[in-house]
Amino acid sequence: MIGIFGGTFDPVHFGHLRAIIEVGEIFSLDQVRLIPNKTPPHRLEPSASTSMRLEMLQLAACTLSNVVIDTRELDRDGASYMIDTLSSLRSDFPEQPLLLFVGSDAFNGLTTWHRWCELFDYAHVVVMTRPGSPVQWENDFWDARQVFEAGQLARYKAGKLFFQPITQLDISASAIRKMIAEKRDPRFLLPDTVLDYIQSHHLYQNA
């Protein structure tokens, strides 16, 4: 099974990295593909440039095994729609279950994503519970797709919804950016290599 972990990673932090390790182990994933977005449709432009976010991700992920940084959204023009990403991943991996991991905050906005119903044609959606973002139950669509055993995900290539508790780390990129702008110390919320990069490139100086 292939894990898909999209994000802005502005910057990548231990909330992301811990989640990536845990879901890789829990679901015995063959690989986790980290997919930084270029032009996120649902939020403001990232603070750091695309190439800087990618470099920080490379610094953070280089020690993780079975993790691949996938630049397909950066290489594509226009908005980074997950439906386009999943469709291209399905072409690359026609036979394997694809697991799209989203935090509960992202899941609560899922029904605003472009062609959101069709995401389930290409992948399962696995919701990682996240501090401060209890899951809001949106519609009957979820009831029809939810499964309660992780083993079900291996049986189908796509189409199921699963909730996976992970270690709760109340860390967010926006809080880290704010801390840096306020000249506070964000150590132990993100890797030192990423923090060194942020400092040497004077990133996030303004809130």
Our finding on whether 29 is near ligand ATP (CB under 6 A) is no
Our finding on whether 127 is near ligand ATP (CB under 6 A) is no
Which of 2, 3, 4, 9 touches ligand ATP by CB under 6 A? Answer: 9
Q: Give the CA angle between residues 28, 20, 79 to the nearest 5°.
A: 115
Our finding on whether 102 is near ligand ATP (CB under 6 A) is yes
Closest CA to 203 of 179, 184, 177, 183: 177
Our finding on whether 120 is near ligand ATP (CB under 6 A) is no
Q: What is the CA radius of gyration of the chain?
A: 17
Which region, judged by CB under 6 A, interacts with ligand ATP, from 27-35, 60-68, 98-106, 155-163? Answer: 98-106
Our finding on whether 38 is near ligand ATP (CB under 6 A) is no
Q: Output the smallest distance, CB 138 to ligand ATP, in A.
A: 16
165-181: b or e for each residue (b if 16 or more CB lie within 10 Å)? Answer: ebeebebbbeebbebbe
Closest CA to 201 of 52, 37, 47: 52
Compare residues 125 and 158 and give the one whose CB is closer to ligand ATP: 125
As a whole number of angstroms, the distance between CA 142 and CA 148 comes to 12
Interface residues with ligand ATP (CB under 6 A)? 7-10, 15-16, 19, 102-103, 105-106, 128, 130, 169, 171-174
